[in-house]
Amino acid sequence: SLSRKMDLLSSAPEFDEATLLQALEDEAEGLLDDDEAPAPVKPQRLTIQLIAGRCIDPKELVTLTTDNLAERMLTLQRLRLDRLRLGSMDGLDVCNAATHLHLQHNLIREIDGLEFFDRLQYLVVSHNQLTRLEGLSHLATLQYLDASHNQIETVDWTRDVPRNLMAIELQGNPCAEAAGFREAALAALTALMTVDEERATIKELRAAGRPGLPEPNDDEEEGEEEGEEE
């Protein structure tokens, strides 16, 4: 310990004051290094027990046998599995009837395990370690996707995401800073109405080539021109 080293150094006649001070400085620097480099967080595996503990009422859970629990997993619709240090999505397949899936604030590096989630409408995977969007294009019922605050560099709008999305959040990713990001999303996804919590304007939807929009009237055109001048 630091106090033990001080006792040894002060009692040793061969150490002068300068040597003692240097030893104390070295010890302090070592303590600072330890504070700045905490041990890495160990990812946790997703298990039936973990899902049940989060998503089933405790009073119900104590009454379920092993067989009953397996059957109950198949009926869960809202899964709140955020902040569990999950390293992957392995193990989710037992809950493929889910309509809402919350996986924010974990350690997930890729989206997978959703092959049979044919009812999923709402997916949150924000604040993870994703570097790309994948494993989503087959989700025909998905309407809302939040993958914000990850490390996603690019998005292929025709391949990576379902075309029926109505809202997407990608702020906090490098891809969201790219020129034309919002325009490309609105043009490729014909049901998309909200990007990063900002609803698309009629003008944006026209520029994206959306069919069925009302023709602009004179007042609207004048308002847009005045806004541009300001």
With beta carbons less than 8 A apart as the criterion, state whether 103 and 86 touch: yes
Domain membership flag for residue 38: no
Q: To which residue do tokens 């700045």 refer?
A: 36
Domain membership flag for residue 170: yes
Residue among 171, 225, 230, 229 nearest 203 (CA)? 225
Q: What domain range includes position 171? A: 48-208
Q: What's the CA gap between 34 and 213, in Å, rounded?
A: 61
Q: What's the CA gap between 131 and 78, in Å, rounded?
A: 26
* pLDDT tens digits, 173-225: 999 999 999 999 999 999 999 999 999 999 999 999 998 888 777 555 445 54
Task: Find the CATH number of the domain harbouring 97.
Answer: 3.80.10.10
| Segment (H or E) for 53 | helix 48-55
Domain membership flag for residue 9: no
φ/ψ of residue 72, rounded to 5:
-65, -35
Q: What's the CA gap between 165 and 155, in Å, rounded?
A: 14
Domain membership flag for residue 162: yes
Q: To which residue do tokens 């989630």 refer?
A: 117
Residue among 134, 76, 118, 84 nearest 104 (CA)? 84
* pLDDT tens digits, 97-133: 999 999 999 999 999 999 999 999 999 999 999 999 9
Full-model pTM:
0.77
What is the count of structural domains for the chain? 1
Domain membership flag for residue 221: no
Domain membership flag for residue 128: yes
Domain membership flag for residue 1: no
Q: What integer pLDDT is reported at residue 27 of this predicted model?
A: 55
Task: Mark 81-115 as b/e (b = at least 16 C-beta within 10 Å).
Answer: bbebebbbbebbebbbbbbbbbbbbbbbbbbebbe
Q: What integer pLDDT is reported at residue 42 of this predicted model?
A: 87
| Segment (H or E) for 195 | strand 194-195
Domain membership flag for residue 56: yes
Q: What's the CA gap between 118 and 116, in Å, rounded?
A: 6
